[in-house]
A = this chain, B = another copy of it.
Amino acid sequence: MSKKSIVLLSGGIDSTTTLYWAKHKGYSCFALIFDYHQKHKKEIKAAKKIASLSDTPFKIVKINLPQEGSSLLDENLEIPRKESRGIPSTYVPARNIIFLSMATSFAEVLNCKFIFFGANIIDYSGYPDCRPSFIKAFQRAINIGTKRGLKEKFVIKAPLLMMRKSEIIKLGSKLGVPFKYTWSCYRGEKKPCLICPSCRIRLKGFEEAGIKDPLLD
């Protein structure tokens, strides 16, 4: 069976560990990196660096998302300083739906059966487009709505879905993930802010894993 795959790569810990996991399991990977006018470009830079370190062919795909409605994109909204209840302001409307749709298009053209997606719901339980029921429903839709899906089904793989951040970090560590080059902070400054929810989850994850975050050297 061909193990050709598309990997959604954002340059954070989850998507990078997903990429390394897929390679470790013998999948051949093509990475998609999205430029959707994030407030900063550090994560795109990180994703490119990781693709190059892991010898993964990649493409940077520009997407015009509406700029309103998410604190990750909208200059008028502030990135939160702590975790919120419910769906956080950093939610970008339909982002993963769009990313997975683009991945489907590339998967169809490049003849890939698998789409790897670094979603996990334990630490980020607020995002509806990371839920298992969404992934299943979306997979069903693309298998009905594409030429390839009518013959051979696509499979969306989210190997980290049920893992805690500390478990992901332990796994990544075992797989040789270059954490030093991953970027998690919602702000794009020289060093991670250590205040935003994404930094907090990362800090806690490394602490619980008993591993030192090389990014903080």
Contacts and interface: CB of A to CB of B under 8 A. Distances in A.
Interface residues of A, number: 44
Dominant SS at the A interface? Answer: helix
Contacts of A142: 94, 97
Interface stretch (A8-16, A76-84, A146-154, A194-202): A146-154
A131 interface: yes
A104 B87 CA distance: 17
19 contacts: A61-B64, A62-B64, A63-B63, A68-B109, A87-B147, A91-B147, A93-B104, A94-B102, A94-B108, A95-B105, A97-B101, A97-B105, A97-B141, A97-B145, A129-B145, A137-B140, A137-B144, A137-B145, A138-B141
Interface of A: 59, 61-66, 68-69, 87, 91-98, 100-102, 104-106, 108-110, 128-129, 131, 133-134, 137-138, 140-142, 144-150
